[in-house]
Amino acid sequence: MPTTADFRKHLRILIDGQPFVVVEHTVQSPTARGSATLVRARVRNLLTGQLLDRTFKAGETFEEPDLTWRPSQFLYRDGDDLHFMDEESFEQFSLPAEQIADIVPWLTEGTVVRALHFEGRVATVELPQTLEVEVLETEPAVRGNTAAGKVMKRAVVAAGAEIQVPLYLEAGERIEVDPRDGRFIRRASS
C-alpha cells in the first residue's frame, strides 16, 4: 500500500473509492512543535478528468486501484464523443472529448492508444510515448534565421496540434513526436 512518502508523478491511488493519479506534490514541514508534516498534492480523477488539490498527513496510506491496460484504436469523432475499439475483444466504446481534452489534438483515425479499465469500464485512454504524424503546414524558413539563434519554426500536424520543428522540415513530411510535451524527436524512417 503506497503512502504519502511514495508520492511521485503518475502514481495511481484510490481516494474515496475513486482512482486518481498524482500530477504533482509538495511536502510542507511544520514550523510549530508538535505539528504534523503535510503533503499537498494535485491529483486527477481518472474517471472524470477533474483536477483536485488535496492535503494529506505525512504517512497516510492509500489503496492501489485495480487497473488494467488494453490496446485500443481511435476510430472517429462524433460531436463531443470520441469512439475507440478494443484491439483484443473488438468491442467499441466512447469517451467524452472534455474528459481527454489534452490528447484530442493528437488523435487521428487509426491511432493506437492504451485504454485504462477500472472496475470493468473504460476510465481513460493514454497516448504512446512517441507518435508518427504528418506535418500539414509550416512557417516558411527565412534566410538568416539561424544567425539569430532561431532554429525552430511552428508547424501544424495532422490531428491539429501545433509544435516547434527544425527549419529544414516542410509540409507533407512524416515526423516522430513526444505527444506528452509536443516535442519534435526526428524525421520518421520511411
Domains in the chain, CATH or no CATH each: 4-57 (2.30.30.30), 67-126 (2.40.50.140), 131-187 (2.40.50.140)
What's the pLDDT at 145? 57
The rounded mean pLDDT for the chain is 87
Beta-carbon count within 10 A of 170 CB: 13
Cell 475507440 maps to which residue? 84
Per-residue DSSP letter, 189: P
Instruction: Name the percent of the chain lying above pLDDT 90.
Output: 32
The three cell numbers locating residue 41: 498534492
CB 51 within 8 A of CB 42: yes
Give the residue among 99, 25, 28 at the shortest CA–CA distance from 62.
25
Q: Residues 78-126: pLDDT tens digits?
A: 989 999 999 999 999 999 888 888 888 899 899 999 998 888 888 888 8
* 143 has pLDDT over 70: no
Residues with Cβ within 8 Å of 72's Cβ and at least 6 positions away in sequence, in order, are 84, 85, 86, 87, 93, 112, 113, 114, 115, 125
For residues 136-146, average pLDDT: 74
What is the average per-residue pLDDT within 14-18? 90
pLDDT of amino acid 74:
94
Express each pLDDT in 32-72 by its tens digit: 666 788 899 999 888 877 889 999 988 899 999 888 889 99
Cell match 491529483: residue? Answer: 43
Q: Which band of pLDDT confidence, cut at 50, 70 and 90, is reported for residue 146?
A: low
Pair 186, 133: CB distance under 8 Å: no
Mean pLDDT within 2-29: 89
Q: Is the pLDDT of residue 148 over 60?
A: no
| Cα separation, 133 vs 41, whole angstroms | 34
The pLDDT value recorded for residue 99 is 82
Residue, of 146 and 25, whose pLDDT is higher: 25
CA atoms within 13 A on the CB side of 185: 15
Residue whose C-alpha cell is 488539490: 53
pLDDT of residue 151: 78
| Predicted local distance difference test score (pLDDT) of residue 190 | 65
Task: Look up residue 167 and give its DSSP letter.
Answer: T
